[in-house]
A and B are shown apart, each in its own frame.
Chain A
Amino acid sequence: SQQGEEDPQALSIQEGENATMNCSYKTSINNLQWYRQNSGRGLVHLILIRSNEREKHSGRLRVTLDTSKKSSSLLITASRAADTASYFCATPNRGTSYGKLTFGQGTILTVHP
């Protein structure tokens, strides 16, 4: 298994509903990052949560981190059709806070208008 596994692989919801995506990792981390990728495009950094943080908010995004379970979740509230994209979690190398990232498999989110 790879560092940063996500579930569900695909999520289909209606506009206005909340979307929750989960990510698990295997080694200790200093931070965990969430990225968004629109189809055929590059990645956009959404939010970074550090290992000493349990929850973080940014607009309609809420990220949690449970280091005891080595898992994180990304919640998008009041989803919009424009939120349709792939979402990835990523972690830097063990023992580092920056540098090369290991990505999860991603969750494909489809928000129907």
Chain B
Amino acid sequence: GAVVSQHPSRVICKSGTSVKIECRSLDFQATTMFWYRQFPKQSLMLMATSNEGSKATYEQGVEKDKFLINHASLTLSTLTVTSAHPEDSSFYICSASPGQDQETQYFGPGTRLLVL
């Protein structure tokens, strides 16, 4: 099946710094990728839809200036958590589909962010 990777898998940073997380589709092109956040023992919450070549679409309550998304190519989307704070500590997961009409999404392994 299709493979989606994320890097880094785990990051620890100091409060106030910015952290970039990469999401790559390894064997297919994805015009759309999705970014989710998951707090411990909770479900996944969609943060934003990343669109190749255009601006991301953010879900209600998600600050676009806080979570910068760049979808510069058909295989790479990046999520930058700017001026991270301890409350941003979470598990960030991306997903993508091989085509816009594909029902199945493939998820990355996730990135564990810990802000001290």
Q: Which residues of A contact B (CB under 8 A)?
A: 2, 31, 33, 35, 40-45, 48, 88, 92, 97-106, 108
Contacts and interface: CB of A to CB of B under 8 A. Distances in A.
B54 interface: no
A45 B108 contact: no
Nearest to B1: A45
Interface string B83-116: 0000000010101010011111111111010000
Contacts of A101: 34, 44, 46, 95, 105
6 contacts: A35-B107, A40-B110, A42-B110, A44-B107, A97-B101, A98-B102
A50 B7 CA distance: 33
A98 B103 contact: yes
Interface in B43-77: 43-46, 49
A42 B21 CA distance: 15
Given A43-B107, A45-B105, A101-B105, A88 B100 contact: no
A99 B41 CA distance: 24
Interface residues on B, range: 20 to 34
Contacts of A33: 103-104
B87 to A, nearest CB: 20
A40 B6 CA distance: 13
Contacts of A98: 97, 100-103, 105
Nearest to A102: B46
Contacts of A92: 103
A106 B38 CA distance: 12
B34 A100 contact: yes
Given A41-B109, A99-B32, A48 B43 contact: no
Contacts of A40: 91, 110, 112
Given A98-B102, A100-B49, A101-B105, A42 B42 contact: no
